[in-house]
Structure 1
Amino acid sequence: MVTVSPSECEGSPTWAYTLQLPHDPRSARIARVTLRAVLAEHGMPQLRESAELLATELVTNAYRHSVGPATLRLRGLGRSRLRVSVWDANPHIPPPFGRRSGPLRRPVLAGADADGGRGLFLVCHYAESWGGYPLGGGLSGAGGKLLWCEVCG
């Protein structure tokens, strides 16, 4: 299910799209296709490359570390800023999202043999700002967490 909610914020048009994703390895691809269409329609092609990377990593994290569906939300904040948020049912906030957004002081890299552990580091490195917080009874009446990031162009 996809929803959109247009509004005005400080004179700049804002909008939001929400996409419910099943627990499926193809969800990251579906999120990228949706993101491309949304950015094209809103005249924000300059954000495509970074936003695709960030959305892919957040959706993949939700798939790998949760057992249920996830929700992707794309929100335009003015003419050149996008917030990407992903909700999933796992309440654990992974590092470094458990602290306030900002530059990473120490890289959090996985070992050379690790199968994962680099995605959220990439999000923090490429995003303008980022964060995460637990949800209690939030979206769809479920708990879990919300991880978000913003990209500008």
Structure 2
Amino acid sequence: MTTVSPHAPWSYVLQLPHDPRAPRVARKTLRAVLNGHGMTERLDTAELLACELVTNAYRHSDGQATLRLRHMEGGWLRISVWDTNPVIPAPFDKPPGAVRPVPTPAPAAHSGGRGLLLVQLCADNWGGYPLGDDLFGRSGKLLWCELAPTTERAQAA
């Protein structure tokens, strides 16, 4: 029987319809994937980030979305969500590594607008890319965030 190294890169992709239940499905899928790979120490933060990105896709696009979970070299975990709306919200519109503003919360009177703020505050890296039309007619944007390996996160704290 072949065994898989816990440190080997892997990737999962989940297609989500434009449905208000999509964030819940994304959370449950992420929980199953991370539990299956023994990454329970990142579960709560990763679940929050994925849910916020999928919720943003549902609220601001009118089509399907795609959630991708990727365990990368060095132990980083990337969560990305593609949707059909090409508009990249601030501050995700800045290139990775650019000077980014300090997150400021939405006024208390607003009922939304805090999801991407949570992503900024909880992720170790994040960004967005516009996607032009490809061979399959897909366009829109990709928002992503990353969580550092747990050893790096503990040292940063």
Structure 2 gap segments, 5+ residues each: 151-157
How far did residue 100 of structure 1 move?
Answer: 2.7
Displacement after TM superposition at 1:97 (Å): 0.1
Aligned AA (1:121): L
Tell whether the 8 Å contact from 2:123 to 2:147 is kept in structure 1 after alignment: yes
What SS class does the counterpart of residue 9 from structure 2 fall into?
strand
Task: From the superposition, tell whether residues 137 and 52 of structure 1 become closer, same or farther in structure 2 (CA, over 3 Å).
Answer: same
Which residue number in structure 2 is paired with residue 83 of structure 1? 78
After TM superposition, the runs of 4+ consecutive aligned structure 1 residues lying more than 3 A away are 101-105
Q: Which residue is 2:137 aligned to? A: 141
Which SS does the other structure have where 2:49 is aligned?
helix
1:58 aligns to 2:53 (yes or no): yes
Query: Displacement, 1:108?
Result: 3.1
Among all aligned residue pairs of Structure 1 and Structure 2, give the percentage whose two residues are the same amino acid: 58
**1:18-47 residue CA offsets vs partner (Å, 9 max, x unmatched):** 000000111001001000110011111111
- Cα deviation, residue 83, structure 1: 0.3
Aligned to 1:4: none
- Larger Cα-atom Rg: 2
1:104: Cα distance to partner? 4.6
From 13, 16, 38, the equivalent of 1:18 is 13
The residue that corresponds to 1:46 in the other structure is 41
Say if 1:138 and 1:16 are closer, same or farther in 2 by CA, change over 3 A: farther
Contact kept, 8 Å, 1:70 with 1:89, in 2: the verdict is yes
- 1:111 is aligned, of 107, 111, 114, to 107
CA distance in 2, matches of 1:139, 1:128: 33
Are the structure 2 counterparts of residues 45 and 80 from structure 1 closer, same or farther at C-alpha, using a change threshold of 3 Å?
Answer: farther
TM-score by length of 2: 0.84
Q: Distance in 1 between matches of 2:17 and 2:136?
A: 14
Q: What letter matches 1:106 in structure 2? A: V
Alignment partner, residue 29 of structure 1: 24
Partner in structure 1 of residue 88 of structure 2: 93
State the match for 1:68 in structure 2: 63
Matches of 2:48 and 2:105 in 1, distance apart? 17
Aligned partner of residue 141 in structure 1, secondary structure: coil
Paired residues, number: 144
Specify the code of the residue in structure 2 equivalent to 1:105.
P
What is the one-letter code of the residue matched to 2:122? Y
Amino acid at match of 1:137: D
Contact preservation (8 Å) 2:103, 2:120: no
Task: Give the partner amino acid of 1:77.
Answer: M
Whose strand proportion is higher, 1 or 2? 1
